Chains A and B, each alone.
Chain A
Amino acid sequence: MIRKKVTVQNAAGIHARPASLIVKEATRFESEFHVHMYGYRINGKSILGLLTLAAEEGAELELELDGPDEEEAMERIATLFNNGFKMTDK
């Protein structure tokens, strides 16, 4: 299991579009994925869970990955946050 802290960098926060990008990326991997924020821990493969975090710009979250492909998954998901959820092809 690995953990990493990330910050929400896009101005609009995690609304439906970024949340669906996160889910889409995360479901490509076998590893289990959870997100921690304000003491909550939600399933990161659930878009509804992500939305209930109501994470705005500047919010700090901790990503938790656990499984055979956790390293690669972490890198891909963290990149999404760091790019401010800009659409990237492939």
Chain B
Amino acid sequence: MGGGGGAEPSAPQSGYNFAYLDEGTKRMIRRAILKAIAVPGYQVPFASREMPMPYGWGTGGVQVTAAILGRADVLKVIDQGADDTTNAVSIRRFFAKTSGVATTTRTTEATVIQTRHRIPETPLTEGQTLVYQVPIPEPLRFLEPRETETRQLHALAEYGAMHVKLYEDISRHGHIATTYAYPVEVAGRYVMDPSPTPKFDNPKMDDCPALQLFGAGRERRIYAVPPYTSVRSLDFEDHPFRVQDFTEPCALCGARGHYLDEVVTDDAGGRMYICSDTDICETRVAEAAR
């Protein structure tokens, strides 16, 4: 296993329940998850608990993961696509300690992947569950700050304001200026926030064989996209949705078509571009060396 982040199953820490949460809390979250799956894209309210990590740092994702995790699961945690960013390390350790489940950095080995801001480049498969950490679950929040209003807009499927906002971008900039947290329509009904993943990842959500669960702890919402469900990025006939492309390949593994991080290499304007997904990058480098 790469990245030093994988570990075999071990005995969980005593003093707390398996995966930290008490059984009553898990039941409540599990019920919310089932409703979320039954109504794709609808934000189910749930009584989010205070977790031993701060709001805004993944408490929603952590609660969802804690509620679904079983002893046989293999967990992967990424932040910005990487297994070794500090917050990913912290959350992975939390579950290794409180549940003792096996952890991995390999996308293909994981049964549950908790993520912040990226979808792995390696295509997900049936039986995998991707758990997103969500800061602001309400796609309409920046158009309408009031929950009482946005709830009505969803109830009526009244999404005109969102289209107006996107079209205003086009008239001002010539492009839709939303590059991440790009709104999507799920199964032809609810408009949903995909969490702040770059819109580059939006096409991966569509008709995905894996189950996608979204947890927003501070805002107390859980929502879901079942496997093989249509996820359409909002767009216009004359301005179809398109994703970012990178002119250069990854400087480490040479991949094209991956999302790249820009790394500033010196103070003279030097730049290099490397895969944001560390697992696929390491795998490709290792294969090339063989």
- Verify that A and B bind, or say they do not: no
